[in-house]
Amino acid sequence: MSAHPKTPDVEKASIEDRLYANKYTDHEESHLDVKVEGVCEDRCDTYDCVSVCPANVWRNEDETDVVPMIAYENCLECGSCRFACKYDNVVWEWPANGTGMTYKYG
Ligand code: SF4
Ligand code: SF4
């Protein structure tokens, strides 16, 4: 029997496979937010935070969601949402020390 842990087939990994290879330690407090909800409600019509996020963290699935929902537990800490918002309306911090995303396979 092999002593090596099972690793995913990287060459053929789908996006879902790759996301599954991440592990999130929840600090139970979001490291992401919007600065001013009214900016999302009254000024933004592009929702770039939603479209740019590779992990579906920012969501406005319902037309009544004028301020996006934030599923911070899935965050990959790539920083894209922070720079995509043309109103500089994203609060972005690193997750508290020892929490956030790590790779299951190193
Ligand atoms: S892109 Fe910025 S202003 Fe627009 S919904 Fe997202 S956080 Fe709000
Ligand atoms: S940092 Fe990246 S993964 Fe996290 S919410 Fe922003 S765009 Fe999504």
64-79 burial code (b ≥16 CB/10 A, e <16): eeebbebebbebbeee
- For the record, the structure tokens of 89 come out as 């309306």
Query: Any idea which residue has 């929702």 for tokens?
Result: 47
Among protein residues, the one whose CA lies closest to atom 3 of ligand 1: 40
Q: Quick one: pLDDT band at residue 9, thresholds 50, 70, 90?
A: low
- For the record, the structure tokens of 25 come out as 């330690």
Q: Which of 34, 49, 76, 89 to mutate to test the pocket of ligand 2 (most atoms within 8 A of CB)?
A: 76
pTM of structure: 0.81
- What's the whole-number mean pLDDT along residues 12-35? 85
Looking at domain 30-95, its CATH class is alpha beta
CB atoms under 10 Å from CB of 93, counted, come to 10
CB atoms under 10 Å from CB of 29, counted, come to 9
pLDDT digits (tens, 9 = 90+) for 39-52: 999 999 999 999 99
Pocket-forming residues, ligand 1, beta carbon under 6 Å: 34, 39-40, 44, 47-49, 68, 85, 87, 89-90
Domain range summary for the chain, segments of one domain joined by +: 30-95
pLDDT digits (tens, 9 = 90+) for 41-97: 999 999 999 999 999 999 988 777 789 999 999 999 999 999 999 999 999 999 988
Ligand closest to the CA atom of residue 36: 1
Ligand 2 pocket, residue 89 CB under 6 Å? no
- Nearest ligand 1 atom to the CA of 67 is 5
